[in-house]
Amino acid sequence: MTADAPALPGSYAAVHAASLADPERFWGEAAGAIDWVEGPGRAFDAEAGVYGRWFPEARLNACHNLVDRHVAAGRGGQAAIIHDSPATGTKRQITYAALQDEVATLAAVLAGLGVARGDRVILYMPMVPEALFGMLACARLGAIHSVVFGGFAANELATRIADAAPKVVLAASCGIEPSRTVAYKPLLDAAIAACPHKPDACLILQRPQAPAEMVEGRDIDWSAAVARAREAGRRAGCVPVAATDPLYILYTSGTTGKPKGVVRDTGGYLVALAWSMENLYGVRPGEVYFCASDIGWVVGHSYIVYAPLLIGCTTVLYEGKPVGTPDAGALWRVAAEHGAACLFTAPTALRAIKKEDPSSALARGYDLSGLRSLFLAGERADPDSVAWAERVLERPVVDHWWQTETGWAIAGNPLGLGLLPVKHGSACVPMPGYDVRVLDEGGRPVPPDTMGTIAIRLPLPPGCLPTLWGSDERMRASYLATFPGHYDTSDAGVIDADGYVTVLGRTDDIINVAGHRLSTGGMEAVLAAHPDVAECAVIGIRDALKGEQPCGFVVLKSGVERAPDEIERELVALVRERIGPVAAFKLALTVKRLPKTRSGKILRATMKRIADAEPWTMPATIDDAGVLDEIGESLKERGISG
């Protein structure tokens, strides 16, 4: 949103304007929420790094800020982590004092294996407390952690090991899914065998559901090593690092086949997260925060681990699914049982819940009086699902937008500053430090309500990536070259006359139908509004006459007994009514399920390659490989190549 955009009500407008008018002063004041070994001094150096660096003169330790300072302040007895695992039928509370002991002891083990400041450590872990201990132990030593989603294919893990060159790997023997146990150790062994870089050691957490065979001379039993260190009284202290030192690397898929290692610096990240917890999420120290994500993703890094512990909340670590462990009331049960003030999940989880329990009977069975808000991110939240959740919870439901690269929200509804009017389908307004613009292909700003590429004027605020691991040039080429002076989000959308941001999809999800640029996200919003549709995806498939034509895949709600072809005809008519004949929407296919990553993102690009009969490979992140075959068969039945 530009400085001359229409004013918004309440304190938000003044806060956002101040952050753009004098960013150094704004973030310098926000830095007061952090404990520093050496204070920030100047907040920003425009000459450093690729586009500038935040807090270039400061030193601190992230683990001290998340753990030790709370114990020192007398809050060691407060629960830091609640581990709720329907996968194993267990629950566990860990206080801040116990967390400090676990992390300091594990850090001593890592130090004994040669891990020091600047070294990399890869974690290949399920949703267990030891995964958080490992992340924080790395931060304690000034080492750089890189979490790889547990169960990732061996070749994907190998590429990350090769790029990060870790000294040590922390892994569990297995992860537990609702219908199966996934052995991690054979995947790790295969990845190391295929990789030119060999870690010095692997610390293996043996889980009783599937104990792993150990490689002599390399693998070390996690529990035994920690027990020996504790018995010997070995505990590692917090190592001060530069605020600009990397805290972690988080890999995201690259277009060249080589994953991009997004670097997160230490000082700016903590400053941004601390601001967000109170001002965006409206959560205070001592409250329970429930982020139903996975630590393998950026949401899990920021809002399961770092942000809640940073301000002294109790964070819920959930080893389960939104449905199936045991039913579609799972998230409501966890929020009610542990007294969560805020629940953060993905739109796809909400759609899965709505599909299984459209009447919200399960939600009404739990006391959610302590829950103040529901936040959604990860994919665009369709207005119908947001409205459904608002009716069920009678609480604010915030669809906010951010990326792996940014580390925290680009746009959202800042509850801590006062709830702004809600516009379904919009991610609301830019957060402080984000000067959001919508640009045309030539880099020129477009009028309000005109679709274009969403870009952010440099510099990016604290918390965002300063570079990619080992490649400043790739950082420039991937994000900064298209629109000089701006960060290219690669998302398409609009900003309306009130300054609200609506994300319509990735720029490669904008299809060209007979010369008309159309948003697949806009069509999905129309399909999702149909009362029988649980979730949907629209892709553009190749068309000899018009270039592309839209094709909609829909999953129906449980209990719908009407004929699918009747519903499909209604959907075609609905898109023509709401968007117009220009959309050329003629093809709606009902399917049993949509192909998704383990984080819940729909694999639209792979679906498009199948429809266009182009070569495609099985994505490493896919949750269920068989669903892609089902998509291909559905397309063939309709005379599309598949």
**Of 441 and 107, which is predicted with more confidence?**
107
In a domain, 321, yes or no: no
Cβ partners under 8 Å of residue 114, min gap 6: 167, 168, 200
Alpha helices by DSSP H, 502-600: 520-528, 564-578
What is the pLDDT averaged over residues 476-501? 95
3-state DSSP helix/strand/coil % of the chain, to nearest 5: 35, 25, 40
Split at pLDDT 50, 70, 90, the class of 641 is low
Please indicate, yes or no, if residue 575 is contained in any of the structural domains: yes
The CA distance from 398 to 375, in Å, is 5
Mean pLDDT over 123-134 rounds to 98
At residue 63, the pLDDT reads: 98
Question: Has residue 112 been placed in a domain?
Answer: yes
Task: Tell me which residue range forms the domain holding 613.
Answer: 514-637
Q: Among 221, 239, 257, where does a domain finish?
A: 239
What is the token pair recorded at 458? 């440099």
Q: Tokens at residue 144, please?
A: 């750089």
Q: What is the CATH number of the domain that holds 173?
A: 3.40.50.980
* Residue-wise pLDDT tens digits, 274-316: 999 999 999 999 999 999 999 999 999 999 999 999 999 999 9
Domain end, chosen from 187, 215, 239, is at 239
How crowded is residue 579: how many other Cβ atoms within 10 Å of its Cβ? 18
In a domain, 469, yes or no: no
Helices (H), 119-221: 129-141, 154-164, 185-194
Average pLDDT over residues 151-174: 93
Domain count, the chain: 2
Answer yes or no: is 125 within a domain.
yes
Q: What is the pLDDT of residue 10?
A: 61
What is the predicted pLDDT for the residue at 6? 42
- pLDDT higher than threshold 50 for residue 344: yes
- Percent of the chain whose pLDDT exceeds 90: 77
- Mean pLDDT (the chain) is 92
CATH number of the domain residue 629 falls in:
3.30.300.30
Summarize pLDDT for 219-228 with one digit per residue, the tens: 999 999 999 9
Structure tokens at 365: 């069975």
Query: Does 448 have pLDDT greater than 80?
Result: yes
Give the Å distances, CA to CA, from 459 to 48, 247, 465, 487, 630: 12, 20, 11, 8, 45
Q: What is the DSSP letter of 341?
A: E
Q: Is residue 408 part of a domain?
A: no
Asked if the model's pLDDT at residue 621 lies above 70, the reply is no
In angstroms and rounded to an integer, the radius of gyration of the C-alpha atoms of the chain is 24
Share above pLDDT 70 across residues of the chain, in percent, rounded to a whole number: 95
* Predicted confidence (pLDDT) per residue in 232-266, tens digit: 999 999 999 999 999 999 998 654 457 899 999 99
Residue at which a domain ends, from 239, 269, 303: 239
Residue range 565-605, pLDDT digits in tens: 999 999 999 988 887 676 778 899 999 999 887 767 788 88
Q: Each residue of 35-56: b (16+ CB within 10 Å) or e?
A: ebeeebeebbeeeebbbebbbb
DSSP secondary structure letters along 186-214? HHHHHHHHH-S---SEEEEE--TTS--PP
Q: Which residues pair with 242 in a beta bridge?
A: 59
Angle 359-362-366 from CA coordinates, rounded to 5°: 130
| pLDDT class of 97 with cuts at 50, 70, 90 | very high
Alpha carbons 521 and 355: distance in angstroms, whole number: 20
Q: Is residue 473 part of a domain?
A: no
Q: Does residue 82 fall inside a structural domain?
A: no
